[in-house]
């Protein structure tokens, strides 16, 4: 069994608590569904946000999901590169799995599809 990283990102339209929490859940649910994983498979989740999202911690949304209470979570600020995508939440989900790297499905939603169009669903 290997530890694999699953990347994902999503943007929100406004810096408000509920849209940030909702987007975080939407992104994580997409990662879970596309990769057929359960919380017990998760090693940890690393969450970053751009500096323009400061109304809440996105990890709060994950912590409230059933079965995710014990999953280690950490939030941080994304590197503030000039001209980078605004109002973006990124996840790095580390999982224990027998899947190969090629079988992992990364998830990019909303405006974050621009980050990795090669990995984004049409």
Q: What is the CATH number of domain 2-112?
A: 3.30.1330.40
Q: Pairing mode, if any, of strands 42-49 and 107-108? A: unpaired
Q: Is 63 a catalytic residue?
A: yes
Q: Pairing mode, if any, of strands 73-77 and 2-11? A: unpaired
Q: Is 90 a catalytic residue?
A: yes
Is 60 annotated as a binding-site member? Answer: no
Only one residue has tokens 């990769």, namely 35
Containing H/E element for 25?
helix 17-35
Q: Which of 43, 60, 75, 105 is catalytic?
A: 75
List, edge to edge, every strand of the sheet that includes 88-97: 73-77, 42-49, 88-97, 2-11, 107-108
Q: Pairing mode, if any, of strands 42-49 and 88-97? A: antiparallel
pLDDT tens by residue, the chain, 122 residues:
899 999 999 999 999 999 999 999 999 999 999 999 999 999 999 999 999 999 999 999 999 999 999 999 999 999 989 999 999 999 999 999 999 999 999 999 998 988 887 876 65
Q: Is 87 a catalytic residue?
A: no
Question: Residue 75: CB partners within 8 Å, gap ≥ 6?
Answer: 47, 48, 49, 57, 58, 59
Is 4 annotated as a binding-site member? Answer: no
Q: Phi and psi for 45 in degrees, rounded to 5?
A: -130, 125
d(CA 68, CA 90): 18
Is 90 annotated as a binding-site member? Answer: yes
């Amino acid at each position: 069994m290997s530890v694999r990283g699953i990347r994902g990102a999503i943007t929100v339209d406004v810096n408000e608590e509920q849209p940030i929490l909702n987007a975080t859940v939407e992104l994580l649910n997409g990662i879970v569904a596309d990769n057929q994983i359960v919380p017990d498979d998760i090693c940890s989740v690393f969450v970053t946000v751009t500096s323009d999202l400061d109304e809440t911690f996105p990890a709060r949304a994950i912590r409230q999901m059933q079965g995710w209470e014990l999953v280690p979570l950490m939030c941080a600020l994304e590197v503030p590169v000039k001209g980078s995508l605004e109002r973006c939440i990124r996840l790095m989900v580390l999982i224990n799995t027998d899947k190969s790297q090629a079988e992992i499905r990364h998830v990019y939603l909303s405006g974050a599809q621009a980050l990795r169009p090669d990995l984004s669903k049409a």
